[in-house]
């Protein structure tokens, strides 16, 4: 736990405006000079249930959710159904108040809407005892009453913001600015009145607490956005103008953002009948010369297996996004997990040749999506960006300048008509699209695009000769297989030379290491800082290149530590398995800390996990699993 930070949690039912309110709260704090990071938790339903978002704010950059929270705004679930049938539904509207009591820090503030939640009911859940025990400051306020006085009940969330501002002694200026920016007319006026009234009412309560909201300032202009925004913007800036998809949580996010913006960039978005079609359309568009993408989440991505193999075999460039959620099967649709790594690496028949990047944060979502397009189109290979429901939904501020990059619409290794005239053709006139030994000595044989004069060739999922025609000749087979697979070595060399996607953290000469991939990186880095402060000697390596695997970098790093703990959000240690397979050793050096209960790690959990692993003690927490290194 660190001091000098605010972790404000807003909890209510789906449909109570929890998401948008938290976004506004985070943006306002960013405007005030703070760094913010949000953590989002919601059930797989449209209305009701327990939804919460935490906004963590500090003066220094924040890269992870925190440990618990110190301020709870419990709106209650206004969509709780059938209150008469208590036996079945229980006190559902109270869930957002009591369900995560345990995580409210000692001395924290608990503000709830007594306009919705009956005080007698609240008594029954043992709030008073818990508050006494933990020194919580419980503040019941009739937020619903304030909202209804000026407008509609849904404005309870604006009232909650006003009350929060008063209790935490934050200026309402930025909130007012936001309301004015986002709303107009009566709606704007009503919300402003609700904000002020709630502020006044809460000020009069004079709540005494120890939370200090930090103060900060930014040296340059900031933007606040999600991983899905960053992936979409990376794709657009790299010249992607075609997307095809089918809705599935959490992939829908990227699909929606792209669909909303592509037409204004002159592009095309297609919502189609299923994910097989989605991937197939992206292939068709790419074959015809357009930079294209598709994507899905676990189950939908499974349907893309065959088109993915076709892309590999026909060397048609394509970028796919896989937004992981907890599996297997339908799993837990709105909960994050990192359990599709093996799925994405190995799905589809035959020896695969694909590229897989796992960005760890919003910044990397942008840069690595751009890398994925560049590599895919230059090397004529499918590239997959795998991320999860955690990065998809979390917001974080970063300098706007990070996106101040030149666009690149280069379609890669495609010939112009003039170049086709000079290129190799079969005596029949067919263009040699799949040369065994491309003229520049590389493994990439440049392609033509339908409509180009004298560029015709056959693309086929069958093994094929240089003109693309079906061939089962053994020598041709070996030449084509080797060329397709050797592209991966070229890509590895290209990435090593141009764009390292791996991130190092902590003292270089540390004795111990924590190895992490994808979305858990920021949390691990924060844990590493705390561990070093606690006197441990630890560093971390965040890996993004899942394929082709950065063997040299990871070997070198693993050689430099005595032991390494691999942290990932799945039950079978998939990344540790991949690392062992790729490097052929270190099984006796790597242990695993795993979590697969639907919630991402908190920094303190990694600190505990690490400490008990080096002490050889059993994990105290039951929500994680520790798997020792081989031979231990």
Tokens of 159: 């009232």
Phi-psi group of 348: left, alpha or beta (phi > 0 → left; psi -120 to 50 → alpha; rest → beta):
left
CB 286, min distance to another protein, A: 8
Pairing, β 538-543 against β 503-505:
antiparallel
Q: Which residues, in sequence order, are bridge partners of residue 386?
A: 322
Rounded to a whole number of angstroms, the minimum distance from the CB of residue 27 to another protein is: 9
DSSP 8-state class, residue 318: E
Looking at beta carbons only, is 258 or 527 nearer to another protein? 258
For the CA atoms of 225, 227, 232, 238, the dihedral, rounded to the nearest 10 degrees, stands at 100
Q: Which helix (H) or strand (E) holds 324?
A: strand 318-324
Using DSSP's 3-state secondary structure scheme, residue 136 falls into coil
Characterize 167-177 residue by residue with b for buried, 16 or more Cβ atoms within 10 angstroms of its Cβ, and e for exposed.
Answer: bbebebebbbe
Q: Is 427 in the site for another protein (CB under 8 A)?
A: yes
Is 450 a binding residue for another protein by CB under 8 A? The answer is yes
Q: Which of 34, 139 has the CB closer to another protein? A: 34
Residue 382 near another protein by CB under 8 A = no
Applying the rule CB under 8 A, the residues between 545 and 604 that interact with another protein are none
Per-residue contact string for residues 286-305; x = within reach of another protein by CB under 8 A: -xxxxxx-------------
Pairing relation of β-strands 545-547 and 355-357?
antiparallel
| Residue 91 binds another protein, judged by CB under 8 A | no
Q: Which residues 452-481 are close enough to bind another protein by CB under 8 A?
A: 452-462, 467-470
| Binding residue for another protein, selected from 430, 484, 530, 595, defined by CB under 8 A | 430
Between CA 455 and CA 446 the distance in angstroms is 11
Encoded tokens for 3 = 């001091």
Which helix (H) or strand (E) covers residue 24, if one does? Answer: helix 18-31
Considering the rule CB under 8 A, would residue 429 count as an interface residue with another protein?
A: yes
Candidates 94-102, 408-416, 510-518, 533-541 — which segment interacts with another protein by CB under 8 A? 408-416
Find the binder of another protein among 414, 540, 547, 561 (CB under 8 A).
414
Q: How many CB atoms lie within 10 A of CB 462?
A: 12
Q: How far is the CB of 309 from another protein (least distance, A)?
A: 8
CB of 210 to another protein, least distance (A): 33
Q: Copy the structure tokens of residue 153.
A: 């009940």
Select 246 or 575, whichever has its Cβ closest to another protein.
Answer: 246
Is 449 a residue that touches another protein (CB under 8 A)?
Answer: yes
Q: Is 493 in the site for another protein (CB under 8 A)?
A: no
For another protein, the binding residues in 314-333 under the rule CB under 8 A are 314
Q: Which tokens belong to 567? A: 């942290």
Question: Considering the complex, what minimum distance in angstroms separates the CB of residue 415 from another protein?
Answer: 10
Q: Which is nearer to another protein, 126 or 451 (CB)?
A: 451
Residue 140 interacts with another protein (CB under 8 A): yes or no? no
The region that residue 548 occupies, defined by phi over 0 for left and psi between -120 and 50 for alpha, beta otherwise, is: beta
Site string for another protein, 247-286 (x = CB under 8 A): --------------x-xxxxxxxx-xxx-xxx-xxxxxx-
Angle at which helices 18-31 and 173-182 pack, to 10 degrees? 120
Closer to another protein by CB, 436 or 469: give it.
469
């Amino acid at each position: 736990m660190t001091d000098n930070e605010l972790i404000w949690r807003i909890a209510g039912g789906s449909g109570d405006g929890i998401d948008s309110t938290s976004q506004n709260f985070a943006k306002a704090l960013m405007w005030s000079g703070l760094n913010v990071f949000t953590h989002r938790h919601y059930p797989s339903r449209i209305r009701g249930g327990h939804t919460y978002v935490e906004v963590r704010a500090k003066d220094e950059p924040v890269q992870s959710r925190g440990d618990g929270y110190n301020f709870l705004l419990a709106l209650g679930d206004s969509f709780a159904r059938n209150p008469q049938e208590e036996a079945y539904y229980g006190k559902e509207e109270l869930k957002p108040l009591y369900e995560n009591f345990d995580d409210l820090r000692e001395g924290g503030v608990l503000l709830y809407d007594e306009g919705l939640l009956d005080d007698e009911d609240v008594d029954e859940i043992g709030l008073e005892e818990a508050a006494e025990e933990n020194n919580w400051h419980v503040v019941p306020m009739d937020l619903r009453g304030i909202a209804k006085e000026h407008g509609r009940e849904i404005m309870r969330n604006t009232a909650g913001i006003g009350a929060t501002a008063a209790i935490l002694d934050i200026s309402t200026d930025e909130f007012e600015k936001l309301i004015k920016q986002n709303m107009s007319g009566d709606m704007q006026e009503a919300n402003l009145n609700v904000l002020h009234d709630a502020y006044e009412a809460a000020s009069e309560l004079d709540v005494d607490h120890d939370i200090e909201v930090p103060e900060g300032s930014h040296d340059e202009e900031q933007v606040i956005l999600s991983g899905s925004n960053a992936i979409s913007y990376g794709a657009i800036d790299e010249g992607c103008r075609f997307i095809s998809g089918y809705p599935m949580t959490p992939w829908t996010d990227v699909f929606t953002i792209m669909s909303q913006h592509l037409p204004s960039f002159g592009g095309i978005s297609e919502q189609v009948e299923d994910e097989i079609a989605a991937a197939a359309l992206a292939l068709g568009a790419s074959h015809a010369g357009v930079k294209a993408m598709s994507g899905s989440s676990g189950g939908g991505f499974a349907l893309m297996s065959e088109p993915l193999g076709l892309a590999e075999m026909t060397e048609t460039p394509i970028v796919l996004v896989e937004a992981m959620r907890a599996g297997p099967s339908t799993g837990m649709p709105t909960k994050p997990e990192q359990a599709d790594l093996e799925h994405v690496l190995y799905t589809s028949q035959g020896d695969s040749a694909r590229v897989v990047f796992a960005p760890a944060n919003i910044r990397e979502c942008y840069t690595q999506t751009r890398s994925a397009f560049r590599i895919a189109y230059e090397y004529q290979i499918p590239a997959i960006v795998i991320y999860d429901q955690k990065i998809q939904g979390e917001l974080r501020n970063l300098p706007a300048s990070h996106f101040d990059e030149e666009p690149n619409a280069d379609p890669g290794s495609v010939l112009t008509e003039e170049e086709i005239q000079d290129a190799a053709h079969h005596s029949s006139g067919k263009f040699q699209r799949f040369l065994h030994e491309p003229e520049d000595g590389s493994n990439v044989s440049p392609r033509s695009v339908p409509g180009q004069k004298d560029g015709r060739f056959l693309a086929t999922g069958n093994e094929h000769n240089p003109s693309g025609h079906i061939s089962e000749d053994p020598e041709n087979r070996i030449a084509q297989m080797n060329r397709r697979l050797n592209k991966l070595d070229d890509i590895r060399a290209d990435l090593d030379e141009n764009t390292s996607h791996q991130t190092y953290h902590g003292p270089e000469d540390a004795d111990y290491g924590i190895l992490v991939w994808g979305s858990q990186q920021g949390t691990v880095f924060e844990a590493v800082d705390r561990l070093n402060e606690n006197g441990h000697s630890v560093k971390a390596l965040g890996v993004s290149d899942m394929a082709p695997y950065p063997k040299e970098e990871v070997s070198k790093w693993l050689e430099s530590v005595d032991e390494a703990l691999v942290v990932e959000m799945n039950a079978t240690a998939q990344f540790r398995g991949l690392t062992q397979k790729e490097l052929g050793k270190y099984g006796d050096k790597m242990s695993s800390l795993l979590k697969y209960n639907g919630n991402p790690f908190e920094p303190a959990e990694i600190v505990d996990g690490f400490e008990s692993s080096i002490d050889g003690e059993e994990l105290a927490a039951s929500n994680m699993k520790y798997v020792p290194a081989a031979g231990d």
